[in-house]
Structure 1
Amino acid sequence: MTDDAPPSPWPARIVLLAGVLLGIAGAEATLARRASLVGVDLKVYHLAAETALAGGDFYAASPAGHPYSYVYPPVTIPAFYPYALLDGWEAAFAVHTLVNVAAAVGVAALLVAFTERYRGTELPWVDRALVGAFAVASLHSVPSILYGETNFPLLLAIAAGFWWLEVDGEQTKAGVAFALPAVVKLFPAAVGLWLLRRRAWRAIAAATATGVGAFAVGVAAFGVDTHLTYVERALVPRLSNDQFVGGLDPAAQLVTVRRPLSVLFPSLPSSAYTALGFLALAPVVAYTFRRIETPIERLVAIFVTMAVMVVGFPSLLLYFAFLFFPLVPLLYLFEAGPERALFATGAFVSNVALTASNVETLVTETPIPDAAFEALAPALALATPPLYGTALMLAGCVLAVRKRAPTPTAPS
């Protein structure tokens, strides 16, 4: 940052407030129309823990009416054992909700700490409150909390890892923190891309040791056959691209660059979408990774890394919460200019975590004319608003790096 006055907080305030208002509306809609979704994921964890403690196949245990069962590696199941000791999934959900909210508050505290450190001044109370409300109640946060997901404890680990790496210089702690979410959901391993760029070898060693150690503990505790079951029933379906062949269903709750690729090129073999998806993102990574000398350049490169982690894989819409860091700090740190306009606009658009089917429901149940959905349908089939928003934010990141690039001096 410069010695000048900090950038105006109003773009950030507008984005954060919009996210909170949409989150409240989304929570009300879920509770009123789709109350069966409350605790939908926690029920799976609870039943899996009960089954595991009883010596059963927890990958085959699925709550009544659920289309899926436990999908995390075997070593993670003991984390849910305490829930199995409670009196029913409702009690487990209440405890898990407290854990989620506490983790979201922890994420908010780190977002504020990062912002204030690089901004050089404390944020006003209204901004601190907005950041906290956005972390807990935005439209990206509400599903994770209402469904009983695990995203916020994992996001807290990632944000803490970046603090230890970028601020404290504690690479070993950072590596362990980065490894834990990767053990659970796999795709957070993409953070390793940034560790390689930073040449953070101790962090890489710690992350690798933690991941390998967790796998070894899992094999020792649950055996090889359980891990083969995990690969067959949970891992392989999650890595499959079959749903993209012929064009991804517009109703699919995914935020991924593979969606528009599948719509534009529906006849490609399934294996092509993975390669094309990462190839589409590679130029942005290469460009923003060139210079990481200033705090802004590093935060921009980290944002690009996190964006690749989320939209490069077939991530659910609610995984967009993993972009909170460094999205929120950058909203406060970008100086006035086209890069801030693009980034703030993209963040605002990303607040609308909807698919074509959600919009169709809104049109059906509200006075909104049908023509509105007909006009939006092609665009929503091609990509979700969070993906459009991410594209705008990545464009803002590229402009920010270009703006700060040194101007070549003419030879004398």
Structure 2
Amino acid sequence: MRRVVITGLGAITPIGNNTKDYWNNLLDGVSGADKISRFDTTQFKTNFACEIKNYDALNYFDRKESRKLDRFTQYGLIAGDEAIKDANLNFDTLDTDRIGVIFSSGIGGFETMEKDIIEFSKNQNNPRFNPFFITKIIANNVAGYLSIKHGLRGVNTCPVTACSSSTTGLIQAFNYIKWGKADIIISGGSEAPINQSSVGGFNAMKALSTNNENYKTASKPFDNSRDGFVLGEGAGALVVESLESALKRNAKIYAEISGGGETADAYHITNTHPEGKGAYLAMKEALREGIIMPNQVNYINAHATSTGPGDVSESKAIKRLFNDNLKNISISGTKSMTGHLLGGTGAIEAIATCLSVHTNWIPPTINTTVIDKAISSDLDITLGKKTSKTVDYALSNTFGFGGHCAAVLFKKYKG
């Protein structure tokens, strides 16, 4: 089996429109939450979210092109191109038949779907849809557009496993390269769900925080007063490459992927298993494949959405797997800053985990002050401020509706 490394990163997030700004703001504990600017929230229980700041599509695309692309596709292409540039990939000198794209979205073109259906319903005398309606809403758009733009003819797919989508895709990219089916894969996830349908739907499920008076601190993973997640948007992309290819190109290497686990809670369509059975199995499988013991893990970027049952079940899974080694493992919930990007969350959190391994910095969990008594006191949750620590192995956890559980294991590259 071939070794697999990360050689490029790209991100556009609520706390930074590129990887450098995103990472620096994570370390500084910056909240991306603010009042929703896209629509009138008067009739909604939640009126805040983590939107991308200072975004103008015309800074990235010409007017004609931007009209053909839903916001989630725009975000994915921006992150993908940044990762390609960061990895210094010259496609004119590489075998593009062996370069692929695995790029996910949990929902796809939600904004376009809502807008066009509303417009259709208003014009019953002349009902018609935009000719780009279908091509703007399909979830596999980013994978398709990136491959077309750069002539990449290798594997091209879009795993959809709700909020674990982009972690699932990253594990698939790891497997394709490990098995020798590709040399390089641009892997990532993108989501743009901040619209009336999404906020209204999640409000109806009682999944979103309604802490409108204190929205900056509403996302508080593991906290006793947490009341739901904060919706976010954006995209992340990672260039996943065989070690052989990376060394041949003299590429910089951020970290090595050494294992991945994909499992199911097999319990409920939205709720996690109370004991975190799927989460436990996913982390266990990632460690098994990485051929390491629990006491070798230094950091976990937790899924930690700031929901009641979810945070508790993940903490139980971590406690069960790591047990006596918990005091040696730093844990952070970076959704406290970015909000929850649904299908894009695994990608931006994989970037954060990868950079923790690369830089030996642990980003904080902000807003959390009083840990829920149902959360094990043995967990070393990094609160308030970043910490410096040698990180040789780190896990990134992501879980999604449907009971999908995914965990990916990063390793410090040491040659």
| TM bin (shorter chain) | under 0.3
Whichever of the two has the greater Rg, that structure is 1
In proportion to residue count, which structure has more strand? 2
Bigger RCO (CA 8 Å, 6+ sep):
2
Q: State the TM-score, normalized to the length of structure 1.
A: 0.27
Q: State the TM-score, normalized to the length of structure 2.
A: 0.27
